[in-house]
Amino acid sequence: MSQATFGDDDELFGEAASEMREDVEASLEQAWEALPAADDIWESDAGNVLGVLNGLNTALDAGDAEDHLRDAKKWFTMGQRADAFDDAADLEAEIADLEETITSVSEASEQVGDLTATIPELRGSLEDAGPDDADDDADDEE
């Protein structure tokens, strides 16, 4: 092989490394965009607690964020193993931040889902609790 071939290989590797970084960055951007907006989980037009919880549960959908994160991690891992990145600390930190945020959204969604199931039961229990109205009527007649 000639020296020129090695030079071309280095150039191709450099291009591939740049493209790989761009792929990671694009996947990270798509993942952030797929997460719910802060206002979507904060504001509600619902008339009762169950409506608020149902709306919140819908808003806490991470969408395709997990898939985009997986793509980013895949390309990042490949690039890191190939030693293709000059400095990957920023990508690694952003991947960790995104992963933490997705986990927080998922955990919140589970908690809201639990409350959504619990609140109607609690309401029913509170409505059934206390003195029975029929007993009160019987006592009044005596």
Q: Is residue 34 part of a domain?
A: yes
Q: With respect to residue 18, please indicate whether it lies within any of the assigned structural domains.
A: yes
pLDDT number for residue 8: 79
- Structural domain contains residue 83: yes
Whole-prediction pTM value? 0.79
Number of domains in the chain: 1
Q: Is residue 140 part of a domain?
A: no
Residue 105 has which token pair?
């959204």
For residues 53 and 115, is the Cβ–Cβ distance under 8 A?
Answer: yes
32: in domain: yes
Furthest C-alpha separation in the chain: 112
Residue 73's domain spans which residues? Answer: 3-128
Q: What are φ and ψ of residue 93, in 5° steps?
A: -65, -40
CA distances from 64 to 31, 35, 43, 121, 126 (A): 7, 8, 22, 32, 40
The pLDDT assigned to 2 comes to 47
pLDDT digit string (tens) for the chain, length 142 residues: 444 555 578 888 888 888 999 999 999 999 999 999 999 999 999 999 999 999 999 999 998 999 999 999 999 999 999 888 888 999 999 999 999 999 999 999 999 999 999 999 999 999 999 887 655 555 555 5
> Do the beta carbons of residue 35 and residue 44 sit within 8 Å?
no
Residue 134 belongs to a domain: no
Instruction: Specify if 30 maps to a domain.
Output: yes
Other residues' Cβ atoms within 10 Å of the Cβ of residue 62: 20
Q: Return the axis-axis angle of helices 89-128 and 3-34, rounded to nearest 10°.
A: 20
Q: Please, which residues have CB within 8 angstroms of residue 69's CB and are 6 or more apart in sequence? A: 27, 28, 31, 95, 98, 99, 102
pLDDT of residue 5: 55
Specify if 133 maps to a domain.
no
pLDDT digits over 91-107, tens only? 999 999 999 999 999 99
